Amino acid sequence: MSVGAGTVTKVAPRSNAGDIDSAGREVDCPLGSTGVEVLGLTTDETSAIGILAEAPRRSGLCCDFDGTIAPIVVDPEAARPLPGAMGALHGLAREMAVVAAVSARSALFLASRLDLSFNSSPLRAIGLSGLEEAFADGTVKLRAGVSAWRPVIETLSDQLLAAVPSGVRVEDKGYGLTTHWRSLQASGAELEAVAARTTEVVETLGAENGLLCWPGKSSVELALPLGIDKGSVVTELCEGLESAAYLGDDNGDLLAFRALDQLRANTGLRTVKIAVSGAEAPSELLAEADLVLDGPSGAASFLEALARRVVPESSS
């Protein structure tokens, strides 16, 4: 676990710190040795919760979806958030300045999986890494300039399907494309060859059409070059707040971490960068994190603990 200077470790212990009630709602522990567990929370988790819970109405929380609050599964359509994480996010969204799921998935997929239409909370579902947002009434709002790219995406989708190795899936997300090879039954060496060939094809077609190529877990994505990504989303949502956290598990989430770094340097925002570990977690993400949680179940436990601290019992 890594705790970055200026984030978790800058929390000043309160004079009355150290007590936790039986419900775990007053977790004000002084910073201690990293990794020591207090009622199921490490000191770093407790410190992160303290930062966000000090002034919830001036705090933000953004999180990725796949591999962060939803276990990674072979069929991307089958991905579901852990119920504890989803419940906590809806509860937190009612109490905090902003709570958002920010994913490379389509916004409608996120809204569906997060049950936006069945929960009267202001939880935000921001898809395609910021290009679109879905709302509880089923509407989707696109960023300016996005829709003009649809013909390019349609053409590229056909070209990718024709060029990628057999069995590689091409997901047309409307205004982005993702190639997946997780479901392929093959040896390690064969999968490496598939990944290399697919990445080469995606990079070539992306460069020819002016799109950005983002590697992910058993996938490569083509994204629109509009200067919108998880980093710009986090900057927009969290600028002007007093504290903010981001949870993620993959390369694209580094942009959000670095946006928090910039906000901290420029505005004094108190930040918590949270990596969610897993078999394919990028080492760079783990190294830059203030707090590393053990997979989506660890993320769910953390979010539930934060919700117990922030959300009144009657509304949780």
Where along the sequence are the contacts to Mg ion (CB under 5 A)? 64, 66-67, 249-250
- CA gap 253, 262 in Å, rounded: 14
Closer to Mg ion by Cβ: residue 66 or 242: 66
Q: Residue 55 in contact with residue 97, Cβ under 8 Å?
A: no
Closer to Mg ion by Cβ: residue 94 or 180: 180
CA 296, 287, 216, 135 dihedral sign is positive
Closer to Mg ion by Cβ: residue 13 or 278: 278
Q: How many CA atoms lie within 13 A of 20 on its CB side?
A: 19
Lookup: tokens for 62: 């953004």
Residues 6+ apart with CB under 8 A from 284: 251, 254
Closer to Mg ion by Cβ: residue 119 or 251: 251
- CA gap 177, 168 in Å, rounded: 13
Q: Residue 249 in contact with residue 212, Cβ under 8 Å?
A: no
- Give me the residue whose beta carbon is nearest to Mg ion: 67
Query: Can you tell me whether residue 221 is helix, strand or coil?
Result: strand
Closer to Mg ion by Cβ: residue 97 or 220: 220
- Considering the complex, what minimum distance in angstroms separates the CB of residue 67 from Mg ion? 4
Closer to Mg ion by Cβ: residue 67 or 130: 67
Q: Residue 180 in contact with residue 218, Cβ under 8 Å?
A: yes
Lookup: tokens for 235: 């900057």
- Considering the complex, what minimum distance in angstroms separates the CB of residue 107 from Mg ion? 15
Q: Residue 63 in contact with residue 41, Cβ under 8 Å?
A: no
- Considering the complex, what minimum distance in angstroms separates the CB of residue 58 from Mg ion? 27
- Considering the complex, what minimum distance in angstroms separates the CB of residue 157 from Mg ion? 22
Residue given tokens 């070059």 in the structure block: 225
Closer to Mg ion by Cβ: residue 66 or 290: 66
For 67-218, strand residue ranges (E) read 98-102, 124-127, 132-134, 140-142, 169-172, 177-180, 212-216
- CA gap 252, 176 in Å, rounded: 14
- Considering the complex, what minimum distance in angstroms separates the CB of residue 70 from Mg ion? 8
- Considering the complex, what minimum distance in angstroms separates the CB of residue 281 from Mg ion? 10
- Considering the complex, what minimum distance in angstroms separates the CB of residue 267 from Mg ion? 27
